[in-house]
Structure 1
Amino acid sequence: MTSDPRATARPSTEGGAVARTSTLPDGATAADTVRRTVLPGGLRVVTETLPTVRSATLGIWVHVGSRDETPALNGATHYLEHLLFKGTQRRSALDISAALDAVGGEMNAFTAKEFTCYYARVLDTDLPLAIDVLSDMLTDSVIDPAEVDAERGVILEEIAMTDDDPGDCVHDLFARTMFGDTPLGRPVLGTVDTVNGLTRDQIARFYRRHYDPTRLVVAAAGNLDHDLVVRRVQEAFERSGALARRAAAEPVGPRTGAKTLRGAGRVDVLERTTEQAHLVLGMPGVSRNDERRWALGVLSAALGGGMSSRLFQEIREKRGLAYSTYSYTSGFADCGLFSVYAACRASQVPDVLKICRDELDQVARDGLTDEEVRRAVGQLSGSTVLGLEDTGALMHRLGKSELCWGEQMSVDEMLARIAAVTPDDVRAVARDVLTARPSLSAIGPLTDRQTAHLHDAVT
């Protein structure tokens, strides 16, 4: 397959309106086919056909996330995600949930910092129902004032649940440590104060501003027919009048810009009476558009991506200092993070942090061995393929790729990019990223002496 499935574009007419459709070049098998259509109004539909399964997963991706919020609106994107399940002009909240329950389907949504996704997994024969229900939710929600008040309590409980999980909460804390009081640094859920302050009118305006067809991508994977999906999507969106309002509009492109992180060497600590201290040590990484992301992924896999990784071996296997430790990368449109996580008893914090810093410093100075790079390339390749073995994962790849990069990269192409990473590439990105002075976030029952070790770890 090619990285640009739009290369062989062909016009088609559906419902009397002209849609721009593209497909793969000759030679691709049916199971590999990815097709993309842009409907009048700028709505994109991307599908991948897998004729050997009996299910399909549909997702509607929205080009809006928590980084699009002002301080006063922090949490509005996630609040709105909840409210779109609470009723439309044609369906009550019970009608929405009952429609998918009646066919054994699964429906949910998630909000991230740069996008939101609503999705449903159903039998292939029930895909038209999923299209109708999700499209109705996104285009014709009533945002009932009573539901706004009722759901406020649910979201406050969700915030409380997250606060009760230090292994989850520490990553939000690290985002604040690195980005400060900026959209990328604020929590996706919002805070108790901002959620309590949001009004129905504010959320409704946010809905009208961001839920426009030009900012939406419909992605589907499974046993489906692309043309039928396009026709059903077009009918559903035309029913609400969403496409007619901006018939000549073009899709919104991927995000661009330049983001400056806060100064290095910052330490944020939340004192909690927990059994363990939860730590995130990290520094600026690369954006999701940076070609070095492939090498950084290999570096992360070698440092903390599996049982044979350096951090797992040194911290858990050899020293028995922690049960859970790993490294990870976060890529946004204009910046990124490289981070190491560990959870351990508070008394072990100095030793764990010293090992983390020693390993990062050594790799920054000397790089990885050729064998480590070879093993990390294999691990990353295998996990990439195994992670795409169901229709939900394939739908996720289609929608995120279209929204974030504006193109589709085949699995073979991704594997080729990973396989092309050389030890020199990894050494170069290690020098670029790991030589930066790190910052640190911690949650747990830390004494003053243990907290002092946190500051020592970032000097």
Structure 2
Amino acid sequence: MFKTVLLFSLILLLNTSNAFASKYSQQGFYDVEHYILENGMNIILKPRHTAKNVSIRLKVDVGHNHFKCGKKETAHYLEHLLFAGTSKHSESELDDLIALHGGNFNASTHSEFTQYKIDINSLFFETGLSVLHEIITDSELSDESIQKTKDIIYREDGGKLNFFRRKLHQNEFIASASKLALNDLLQNASFLCNDIDNISNITRPNITNAFEAYYIPKNMTLSIVGDFKLTDAKKLIEKTMRLIPKSNKPKSKNITIPKRTTSLDSNHIYYGKFDPIVDSESIIGVYFLLPSRNHKDSFVLDILEQYFKTQLFNTIRTDEGLAYAPSADAIFFEQYGVLALTSDSEIEDAEKTLKLIHYVTNELLQGKVKKEKFEEAKLKILIGAASAIEKNADFAEYYAENVFDLINYGKIINYEDTIENVTLNDFKRVAKKYLNASNRVVLISSPTLSYTQFYLLILISLISIIFMVTRIVLKNKKHEDSL
């Protein structure tokens, strides 16, 4: 009897702890089924019967930064090619297979991963998963589709680049202030390129070699959320994804940046070189180097990002009226991150705006942070997190992008709970750790010419041309009269 009561009390205690972990977390959001197939593919399943829909996401650990300069579009190229047709279906037939079953499919290539997306009526879940399996195992990669895909990517990237323009960028006669600053911050990492053409030199062997190296199960995470039974989903996976052969090739390497051997010059300001040529405003930026998304400080850095969003807006726009959209963005990757504090301004106000960014940063470093401002930043994150993930597609993408937690901790870390537990002292400690002057680069991106200067130059040029033409005409007339 005592054991029964004790067991009941323990179950009640555990359920109570979970229920009150965070009032901002969606109930059951972090409860997923995760396992790894024999071939190495990660599987994440979440039955959710709120709509007659299933969202399927396949995350492949290959992106732009896995390739050398001049060939960085290889992952993007592959993404397009896998939709170009298989031995069983043409590109249009693949589209119809999904569309005629109440769905759609798409894909996107990022710096460090590629994601394939299928959303389909739950009655045709099997069709959706079968199509995904087909395109990643049976795409033909024909010469015709390779050339057609190259033309499509050219158009997507704004058209083919001429030789002269490429050379100007390769030799840094043209360079943005942001690129020059990032080169210094990230120690000229291999994925930072001067060459703006990253597709022309991609060959068929480059594509097939990349497919064989990266499109292997151990580089893949399959995340499925929606109206299905776990047993049914597992059976479908057994008939499809489990059949992909295990590969002895190594898993994708993490993208790293060189270790810094010299300190950053915190007083140096990077200016663009003829980029932009003409504009009406300047962009001011202060970039700080951060650790990766999986670092223990990343949650505190999210609060820091939100704090800066509010304080920069209030200081630069509301109080001083110098900018339209000052902002802060913490961008995280596998091995590093960057906090970008940015603001627009009138060209003549660039220096003043930069001083205000430094002012907001220094106030924080000196510990002049009101507790209510800190709590306000936390609350904005918590409320935003509660409403940002609503659809099955949102769930599936979140799970796929957080597979690191499942592999390393056996669960997805409760984001809201962790944010709630961050203290003001944690906040101040992390700010001092990463926001010091030796860990930053500064940039001012101003146009070579303002629009006023540009139009004045055109006017002067027209007047000069008219003057020269008039002079030549008068000279010829005088010559004719003398004859």
Which TM-score band (shorter chain)? Answer: 0.7 to 0.9
Question: Where do 1:407-422 residues align within 5 Å?
Answer: 413-422=414-423
Aligned to 1:179: 186
- Looking at structure 1, the residues matched to 263 and 101 of structure 2 have their Cα atoms a distance apart, in angstroms, of 52
User: Is the alpha carbon distance of 1:38 and 1:181 closer, same or farther for their aligned partners in structure 2, counting shifts above 3 Å?
Assistant: same
- Looking at structure 1, the residues matched to 427 and 435 of structure 2 have their Cα atoms a distance apart, in angstroms, of 11
Post-superposition Cα deviations, 1:127-158, rounded to whole Å, max 9, x if no partner, equal 22221112211122111211221221222222
- Looking at structure 2, the residues matched to 404 and 206 of structure 1 have their Cα atoms a distance apart, in angstroms, of 27
Structure 2 runs not aligned, ≥5 long = 1-13, 19-26, 162-175, 451-483
1:207 Cα deviation from its structure 2 partner: 0.6
Aligned to 1:264: 264
1:44 Cα deviation from its structure 2 partner: 1.7
Contact 1:57 1:395 in 2 (8 A): yes
Find 2:289's aligned residue among 284, 287, 294: 284
- Looking at structure 2, the residues matched to 310 and 174 of structure 1 have their Cα atoms a distance apart, in angstroms, of 24
Q: TM-score, normalised by structure 2?
A: 0.76
1:220 Cα deviation from its structure 2 partner: 1.3
1:90 Cα deviation from its structure 2 partner: 1.7
Aligned to 1:431: 432
Aligned to 1:212: 216
Question: Where do 1:209-358 residues align within 5 Å?
Answer: 209-237=213-241, 242-243=244-245, 245-246=246-247, 252=251, 255=254, 259-260=258-259, 264-265=264-265, 267-269=270-272, 270-304=275-309, 309-358=310-359
Aligned to 1:55: 53
Question: Where do 1:90-101 residues align within 5 Å?
Answer: 90-101=88-99
Aligned-pair identity in percent equals: 17
Q: One-letter code of the match for 1:290? A: H
Q: One-letter code of the match for 1:55? A: N
Q: One-letter code of the match for 2:306? A: A
Aligned to 2:479: none
Q: One-letter code of the match for 1:195? A: I
Q: One-letter code of the match for 1:206? A: A
User: Is the alpha carbon distance of 1:133 and 1:26 closer, same or farther for their aligned partners in structure 2, counting shifts above 3 Å?
Assistant: farther
Aligned to 1:17: none
Contact 1:80 1:207 in 2 (8 A): yes
Structure 1 runs not aligned, ≥5 long = 1-24, 164-168, 449-459
- Looking at structure 2, the residues matched to 289 and 216 of structure 1 have their Cα atoms a distance apart, in angstroms, of 18
1:257 Cα deviation from its structure 2 partner: 6.2
Contact 2:278 2:449 in 1 (8 A): no
- Looking at structure 2, the residues matched to 402 and 106 of structure 1 have their Cα atoms a distance apart, in angstroms, of 24
CA RMSD in angstroms comes to 3.2
- Looking at structure 1, the residues matched to 236 and 280 of structure 2 have their Cα atoms a distance apart, in angstroms, of 52
Contact 1:254 1:405 in 2 (8 A): no
1:422 Cα deviation from its structure 2 partner: 0.8
1:146 partnered with 2:144: yes
- Looking at structure 2, the residues matched to 325 and 199 of structure 1 have their Cα atoms a distance apart, in angstroms, of 42
Aligned to 2:67: 69
Question: Where do 1:71-86 residues align within 5 Å?
Answer: 71-86=69-84
User: Is the alpha carbon distance of 1:172 and 1:403 closer, same or farther for their aligned partners in structure 2, counting shifts above 3 Å?
Assistant: farther
- Looking at structure 1, the residues matched to 347 and 70 of structure 2 have their Cα atoms a distance apart, in angstroms, of 36
1:208 Cα deviation from its structure 2 partner: 0.9
1:185 Cα deviation from its structure 2 partner: 2.8
Q: TM-score, normalised by structure 1?
A: 0.79
Contact 1:276 1:343 in 2 (8 A): yes
1:87 Cα deviation from its structure 2 partner: 1.2
Contact 1:33 1:49 in 2 (8 A): no
Equivalent residues, number? 407
1:393 partnered with 2:394: yes
1:253 Cα deviation from its structure 2 partner: 8.9
